[in-house]
Amino acid sequence: MRNRPYYIVLLQFLIHLFVLLLFFTAQNLPDFPNQWVVQFAGLLCLSLMFSIATIFFQSAVLHSLILFLRTMIFLLLGFPLGTNISIETVLLVSILFDMHMYLPGSVAFILSMLIILLAWSFQKSCLIWDMEQSSPPMSTQMLFLVFGFAVDACLFVLSTYTRKLARTRNILEHYEISISNLMEANLRLQNSIVTEITQATNNERKRIAQDLHDIIGHSMVNIMMITDSIKDRLDDRDGIKAYCDVIHQQASGALSETENSMRTLRKQYDKRNYNSVAIKKLTSIFEKATGVEVLLEFRNAPTTFGEKIDRIVYRCIQEGLTNAFRHGRANRITILYWKHETGEMEITIKDNGKGVKNLNEGIGIWGMRERLSGIGGSITVNPSEFGFSLTLTFPFCTASDQEVVSDDRVGYC
């Protein structure tokens, strides 16, 4: 409520203009001197200027001072009006409105009640400009009092609700920013983990390569030295046989250690699966972390496409989920698998987010497109105002379809 909307200024302008029209068209007003008519119009303009000036200040002290001056102008304008209380009533609404607009709820409510009672106490007969001014009938005064209290109560409820709504909106914006920051931190953490895993894998490969070099190199040197010795002992059959036994032992040992090293290297690739089970786990964790509902249907798709394709599909779905939440603000995402009779596999990721008319593809979509192109696939993006969808398409066949190109007996044809 501290940041006053500019359309409220228009409302105050219309209220003051209405008061001026009432003053010049009322039939039961006393015969005021001409100078008071000019003064009335001037004071009314001054009240409007104070109301407009309030929007440019954020200090509570200045707000209180301006509202005090407006109250004094209100009482000064209403005092000589005699039995015509309608002008005072309209001005009272204007004052009460600004009270609840700029002051805290309970303070505004109490001060407004005091202003209403003060204005009501001024409704008495008096002598002004040597003329007797009659007071409004008691029924009119009571109606003025009840109306003032009712407006005060309504404005109090409205201002309280508006302040709570503003606080709730601020909290939601804070939560959105926090979630977005957490998602970005999570992405950075994932990228850091991937980088560390890649670095660790590369280091392990270097170590294994060094081991293989040492093992094979040492064995080959021994074999070469033994063969040189054999050349010098061609007439010694027993010696040649012994050397051949040593060569066999050296080659057998080198082969065994090489197989162990290769088996260790193979395990580096078998540590993590990216099949349908991994996709289910990915979507489950995503649902718990973000509160976004994810509908996952594999339909007629196999549980795995092979190691290479599984990894590509996993990364594409991971990127699609992140984009739907981070950019689309979606609360529901659908992932559908479907294998066509032609052997083409299709995966659709669709959300109900805010969508976009004109899409500028970023690094995420470029990355998906590049990954899919490596297996002969493609990506189709369908942005709209009512959500966003992208379709991953790639050729795929199993061992039952035709000969495949994969160690796992599944892959792209």
Q: Which two tokens stand for residue 106?
A: 């309970």
Residue 176 in any domain: the answer is: no
Is 397 in the same domain as 283? Answer: yes
Residue 214 in any domain: the answer is: yes
By residue count, the chain amounts to: 413
Q: Among 269, 302, 319, where does a domain finish?
A: 269
Residue 74 in any domain: the answer is: yes
Residue 181 in any domain: the answer is: no
Is 114 in the same domain as 132? Answer: yes
Residue 199 in any domain: the answer is: yes
Nearest to 101 by CA among 72, 60, 44, 46: 60
Question: In total, how many domains does the chain have?
Answer: 3
Distance CA 373, CA 364 (A): 14
Is 344 in the same domain as 375? Answer: yes
Residue 171 in any domain: the answer is: no
Domain enclosing residue 130, as ranges:
7-136
Nearest to 261 by CA among 199, 215, 307, 217: 215
Q: What is the Cα gyration radius of the chain? A: 42
Residue 347 in any domain: the answer is: yes
Per-residue burial over 201-220, b if 16 or more Cβ lie within 10 Å, else e, is eeeeeeebeeebeebeeebe
Q: Which domain CATH number covers 280? A: 3.30.565.10
SS3 391: strand
CB-based contacts of 240, cutoff 8 Å, min separation 6: 230, 233, 234
Q: Among 230, 250, 269, where does a domain finish?
A: 269
Is 313 in the same domain as 377? Answer: yes
Residue 201 in any domain: the answer is: yes
Nearest to 85 by CA among 150, 170, 143: 143
Could you tell me if 95 and 63 are in contact, meaning their C-beta atoms sit under 8 angstroms apart? no
Distance CA 191, CA 14 (A): 59
Is 280 in the same domain as 265? Answer: no
- Residue identified by tokens 């294998």 is 339
Is 284 in the same domain as 392? Answer: yes
Is 265 in the same domain as 280? Answer: no
3-state SS of the chain: helix, strand, coil percent to 5?
A: 65, 10, 25
Is 40 in the same domain as 94? Answer: yes
Is 238 in the same domain as 351? Answer: no
Is 363 in the same domain as 328? Answer: yes
Tens digit of each residue's pLDDT, the chain (413 residues): 444 556 778 888 898 888 888 888 876 666 666 777 788 888 889 988 888 888 888 788 888 888 888 888 888 887 777 667 788 888 888 888 888 888 888 888 888 889 888 888 877 766 666 666 667 788 888 888 898 899 989 989 998 898 899 888 888 888 878 777 777 777 677 777 777 777 877 777 777 766 666 666 666 666 666 666 666 666 666 666 676 777 667 666 766 777 676 666 655 554 567 889 889 988 888 887 778 899 999 988 888 898 889 999 998 998 888 888 877 888 899 999 999 988 899 999 999 988 777 677 777 788 888 989 989 999 998 887 778 889 999 998 755 544 333 444 345 55
Is 92 in the same domain as 13? Answer: yes
The sign of the dihedral angle between the CA atoms of 348, 354, 359, 363 is: negative
- Residue identified by tokens 């990915």 is 282
Q: Among 236, 269, 302, where does a domain finish?
A: 269
Beta strand 397-398 pairing with 387-395? unpaired
Is 263 in the same domain as 346? Answer: no
